[in-house]
Amino acid sequence: MLEDKLLLRRFKNGDTDAMQSIYRKYENYLLTLAITLTGSIETAEDIVHSVFCAFIENRRKIKLRGNMKSYLATCTANLARDKMRASKRNSSRLNSVEHIEPQTDGPDQQIIWTEESRMLSAALNQLPFEQREVIVMHLRGGMKFREIAGLQDVSIDTIKSRYRYGLDKLRSILNDEMIK
- Could you name the CATH architecture of 1-95? Orthogonal Bundle (1.10)
CATH, domain range 105-180: 1.10.10.10
pLDDT in tens, 16-32: 898 999 999 999 999 88
Q: pLDDT digits over 117-151, tens only?
A: 677 777 887 888 888 888 888 887 778 898 888 87
Q: Which of 174, 164, 156 is nearest to 117 (CA)?
A: 174
Q: Measure Cα distances from 39 to 30, 96, 150 in Å.
A: 13, 5, 23
Q: Residue 175: how many CB atoms within 10 A of its CB?
A: 10
Q: pLDDT tens digits, residue range 35-74?
A: 888 878 888 899 999 999 999 998 888 887 778 888 898 8
Give the pLDDT score at 70: 83
**pTM of full prediction above 0.85:** no
Q: How far apart are CA 153 and CA 140, in angstroms?
A: 20
- CATH 1.10.1740.10 domain range(s) in the chain: 1-95
Does position 92 have pLDDT exceeding 50, yes or no? no
Q: What CA dihedral angle connects 149, 152, 155 and 161, to 10 degrees?
A: -80
